[in-house]
Amino acid sequence: MKQLNKLIDHIVHRVNINLREPLVDVGPYVKGLLPKDSFAIYYAFYSLTSTHPLKFHFRHSSIGGTYFLGKCVVDHSILYKSDIRGDELKRKGHVVECNGHSIRLRDDEVIYIRDSFLLKTLVHNNSHDPENLEVFKISNTVSLHYANIHGTSVEGCFLEPFATVDLSICHDCAIGAYSYVQAGELSHKRILPGRIWVKASGAFEFNYQYPKEVLEQYIRMEDNKPVGILMDFFDERKEDFIPIYSAVNPDAMIDVPEGASVSPYAVIKGDCKVDKNVIVAQRAYLENSTLGPGSNAQENCYIINSTYDGYDVTAHGGKVIYSHLHKNCFVGFNSFLNGKKESQIEVGAGSIIMPHTIIDAAEPITIPENSLVWGFLSKQKDLELQSIPLADFAALKGQFRLGDMTFEGIGSKFVDGFAHRIEHILECNGAFWDGSEETAGHAQQTQDISFNILQPYPEGDLKGLYPELSIDPLEPSEL
Amino acid sequence: MKQLNKLIDHIVHRVNINLREPLVDVGPYVKGLLPKDSFAIYYAFYSLTSTHPLKFHFRHSSIGGTYFLGKCVVDHSILYKSDIRGDELKRKGHVVECNGHSIRLRDDEVIYIRDSFLLKTLVHNNSHDPENLEVFKISNTVSLHYANIHGTSVEGCFLEPFATVDLSICHDCAIGAYSYVQAGELSHKRILPGRIWVKASGAFEFNYQYPKEVLEQYIRMEDNKPVGILMDFFDERKEDFIPIYSAVNPDAMIDVPEGASVSPYAVIKGDCKVDKNVIVAQRAYLENSTLGPGSNAQENCYIINSTYDGYDVTAHGGKVIYSHLHKNCFVGFNSFLNGKKESQIEVGAGSIIMPHTIIDAAEPITIPENSLVWGFLSKQKDLELQSIPLADFAALKGQFRLGDMTFEGIGSKFVDGFAHRIEHILECNGAFWDGSEETAGHAQQTQDISFNILQPYPEGDLKGLYPELSIDPLEPSEL
């Protein structure tokens, strides 16, 4: 393990240099976080399809338990049980429009991770950094449990558990636990735990701050380790993944209709049904639930005793229990809809549950259709301060405050932006597939998939690290 | 599958050009041999240990079901359920003595396979071609079921099922089914099925020819497909391997004492025991059998209802059923000791069963200690013409004939050569391991092993082929 320990030290130094302002020492969060043997136990897997561009290079890295899809390069990094999902990377020739400039990509975009430590982190989408169009760059960064790095290039950052950076650019920032940031270009910022921040320059700014005492029940750091209800929720279910990861080609546990795809690396328990054009990603968890047509369950989603009527989106890390989603609902990143058998949650059609929303039902809760919901709720009455009809929100102009939420700017731009994004997600996932190539998306493109399973050095100085490995596309040859 | 079909055609043309003399068309043996889907079903596995030099590159190849260990390069080839076992490749700096010349290797030896189709073939040991010390070269070659390419560089060759080329150099040769060749440098030769030929220039020449009507019961080509008792034997047991190949890290099915190693990719059925310093390779099959200390079961060995007293060697492909091997016995490549419950086979201590020997017991058979046995036997009486005490054989000089066997030369060189080789095999396998590094061998070095599992393109034009992949050693870095 000698070389692995050196690599951990090396990454800590790199990140700390970046984070000298705001002053953060990531060492205590990383060192001793995992039993050292864990690095040598789990395998990594690289997905092979005939529809995604291939390229996978890594050197001097430990990548145990990590799933890779698309073009990825990993250098001097530790990726532990993470998901590097490059199925929406920009392609060569694609034209990006930004501030009146049109730039054509000269190469396919590549996810490039160096000098970083990502633990149970999701990396997805393409980068929204117009200065580096061909590279989705993650460097000198530590991110912890169930963080999401979504369309955001990060350099010199520290993401605490359940933090999400979305469609942004982050330099030298510390992002607190369960905070959600979608705020353009950020530099040398410290984001407090439980802040929900959505900002579009010149258009609007949305802010919500979780009350400290509420947030700490769900996620807090204790002796530099994450604890709380959210961590317990994952821990109680992690054994269910063991049989799946023990098989080379896990068996499908469910009937998969035409146009739908269910990852063999998803857990399917009890009586589950998926309809056409549904996508269930690796590391998703379905139990006694029904997903109507065009719905999806992304990485780290848990959908338990719930029903989706159709075209419902569960973004990465969404947890939905004893809930009924009518059509076209959106559940944002890392939201926790914790219904109970006797206190179920009903979400009306077209409603948007903002990222990082906690609905921990102490009584049955019904969300009217076409609502926007955010923050912390446990009773029906809490909707008064934590939700608003989308139409009303769209009418907002100027400054607005409701409970711990503030909004400034043009409401219609915020609502339209969300609606547009949800439509885009459904399209990308192939929710509207009608058999034609134009309407196909991830659900149809990930049906035929095989996996290269990669294991580390089992013993010695190099234990836990992986040999250098590269996978490149086979060029058809004119034999 | 378009590209795979092109590749098969390409290989056939290359081999046929080499085999224009002797005139052979390998096309009918290769085309349509396997259902095309088979190429896309099975995974390949590359073994990672801390004791074997690493290097694995392949391009434009299909390698389904194949096991790789050590330094291997594969280019424009199809390796199907083969074993490429490079654990005895020569290392950089090693000095080869030949005809009074001393040559120091400038690099580690690499197994280099190009433009070839190997089916269920074992490639092992280092090459014995003094002209290409750093490369164990296999090119423009087709080899079929259970062939062994052992320490032999082959260019432009066709090996029929169960053929073995051992410690030789073969250019443009066709090697018949179940023939065994250990004969130095061969060029443009056709070896008849069932010929056992061991020749050392200037020292001796051993020949045995199986009677055609006997051999054809065990292995013959019918409509260019292999059939017979030997094929049936494998077919009846192939299902037992399915659960093993379905697991990423198959569980050990047996207690493995210190210094011994049992591949997780071996089948262990019924009540089996292995003693210290035993090695059981991947694709070996053990059923209700006991292996005494220092014994081994190599690739494609089947040991069923049998007992080994200790230091017994079963070379690649040896099948031993209802037999009792006293100490220090040797069972050569692809031998078939087919004892029955009521007709068991007893092999006396120190006896040598020549490669490609068939003992199909119609009554109990007892082989005296220190015997040399060859050819076909079914009754005790058959030993008269198919065996001879090793001491008597060592005394031979000049010409000798017994039944279908002829020998010419110096018997002691033949016997000493065999004894020396068996001792070498035991040493390499670590049979004499006493806890010291000097006495360690494969059994001790393959205990800590992990596997990279490689899968092909699942669909489309490239289906059944693999993306380009390379694995290189991680260089420890001074971070």
Question: Per-residue pLDDT tens for A37-73?
Answer: 889 889 999 998 888 889 999 999 999 999 999 999 9
The residue of chain B nearest to residue A11, with distances taken between CA atoms, is B479
Mean pLDDT of chain B: 94
Q: What is the mean pLDDT of the segment spanning B226-255?
A: 91
B450 or A407, which is more confident:
A407
Residue-wise pLDDT for B47-85, tens only, equals: 988 888 899 999 999 999 999 999 999 999 999 999 999
pLDDT-derived band at B109, boundaries 50, 70, 90: very high
Residue-wise pLDDT for B313-339, tens only, equals: 999 999 999 999 999 999 999 999 999
Alpha carbon separation from A367 to A207, A343, A349 (Å, rounded): 21, 13, 9
B residues 275..304 contacting A (CB < 8 A): none
Quote the pLDDT of residue A439. Answer: 94
Residue-wise pLDDT for B265-320, tens only, equals: 999 999 999 999 999 999 999 999 999 999 999 999 999 999 999 999 999 999 99
> What's the gap in Å between the CA of A24 and the closest CA on chain B?
22
Place of tokens 């014995």: B128
A residues 106..165 contacting B (CB < 8 A): none
> What's the gap in Å between the CA of A469 and the closest CA on chain B?
4
pLDDT-derived band at B478, boundaries 50, 70, 90: low
The beta-carbon neighbor of A467 closest among B60, B249, B471 is B471
Residue-wise pLDDT for B378-415, tens only, equals: 999 999 999 999 999 999 999 999 999 999 999 999 99
A193 in Cβ contact with A215 (< 8 Å): yes
Question: Could you give the CA distance from residue B1 to residue B464 in angstroms, rounded to a whole number?
Answer: 6
Which of chain B's residues have a Cβ under 8 Å away from the Cβ of A10?
Answer: 479
Assign 3-class secondary structure to chain B. CHHHHHHHHHHHHHHHHHCECCECCCHHHHCCCCCCCHHHHCCEEEEECCCCCCEEEEECCECCCCEEECEEEEECCEEECCEEECCCCCCCCCEEEECCEEEECCCCCEEEEECCEEECCEEECCCCCCCCCCEEEEECCEECCCCEEECCEEECCEECCCCEEECCEEECCEECCCCEEECCEEECCEECCCEEEEEECCCEEEEEECCHHHHHHHCEEECCEEECHHHHHHHHHHHHHHHHHHECCCCCCCCCCCCCEECCCCEEECCCEECCCCEECCCCEEECCEECCCCEECCCCEEECCEECCCCEECCCCEEECEEECCCCEECCCCEEECECCECEEECCCCEECCCCEEECCCCEEECCCEEECCEECCHHHHHHHEEEHHHHHCCEEEEEECCEEEEEEHHHHHHHHHHHHHHHHHHHCCCCCCCCCCCCHHHHCCCCEEEEECCCCCCCCCCCCCEEEEECCCCCCC
Question: Could you give the CA distance from residue A241 to residue B423 in angstroms, rounded to a whole number?
Answer: 48
Quote the pLDDT of residue B445. Answer: 84
B169 in Cβ contact with B188 (< 8 Å): no
Quote the pLDDT of residue B168. Answer: 94
The beta-carbon neighbor of B452 closest among A450, A453, A460 is A453
Quote the pLDDT of residue A2. Answer: 86
Interface contact B455-A452, CB threshold 8 A? yes
Quote the pLDDT of residue A475. Answer: 80
First to last CA, chain A: 46
Q: Does B456 touch chain A (CB under 8 A)?
A: yes
Residue-wise pLDDT for A219-247, tens only, equals: 999 999 999 999 999 999 999 999 888 88
Which of chain B's residues have a Cβ under 8 Å away from the Cβ of A445?
Answer: none
Q: What is the mean pLDDT of the segment spanning B206-222?
A: 97
Could you tell me which residues are beta bridge partners of residue A131? Answer: none
Using DSSP bridges, classify how beta strands A185-187 and A195-200 pair: parallel, antiparallel or unpaired: unpaired
Using DSSP bridges, classify how beta strands A450-454 and A397-402 pair: parallel, antiparallel or unpaired: unpaired
A55 in Cβ contact with A72 (< 8 Å): yes
Domains and CATH numbers, chain B: 2-227+449-471 (2.160.10.10), 250-398+411-443 (2.160.10.10)
Residue-wise pLDDT for B13-44, tens only, equals: 999 999 998 889 999 999 888 888 888 889 99
Quote the pLDDT of residue B336. Answer: 98
**Which amino acid is residue B317, in one-letter code?**
G
Question: Could you give the CA distance from residue B441 to residue B281 in angstroms, rounded to a whole number?
Answer: 13
Name the nearest CA neighbour of B113 among B62, B44, B65: B62
**Looking at the predicted structure, is the pLDDT value of residue B449 above 90?**
no
pTM of the model: 0.90
pLDDT-derived band at B249, boundaries 50, 70, 90: confident
**Looking at the predicted structure, is the pLDDT value of residue B247 above 70?**
yes
**Looking at the predicted structure, is the pLDDT value of residue A252 above 80?**
no
* A288 token code pair: 């006694």
Out of A334-338, A385-389, A429-433, B245-249, least confident range: B245-249
Interface contact A467-B473, CB threshold 8 A? yes
Q: Does A7 touch chain B (CB under 8 A)?
A: yes
* A91 token code pair: 């392609």
Interface contact B451-A448, CB threshold 8 A? no
Which of chain A's residues have a Cβ under 8 Å away from the Cβ of B249?
Answer: 246
pLDDT-derived band at A31, boundaries 50, 70, 90: confident
Interface contact A453-B448, CB threshold 8 A? no
- DSSP letter string over A371-401? EEE-SEE-SGGGHHHHEEEHHHHHT-EEEEE
pLDDT-derived band at A455, boundaries 50, 70, 90: very high
pLDDT-derived band at A478, boundaries 50, 70, 90: low
Q: What is the mean pLDDT of the segment spanning B110-132?
A: 95
Interface contact B449-A470, CB threshold 8 A? no
Q: Does A243 touch chain B (CB under 8 A)?
A: no
**3-class SS of residue A467:** coil
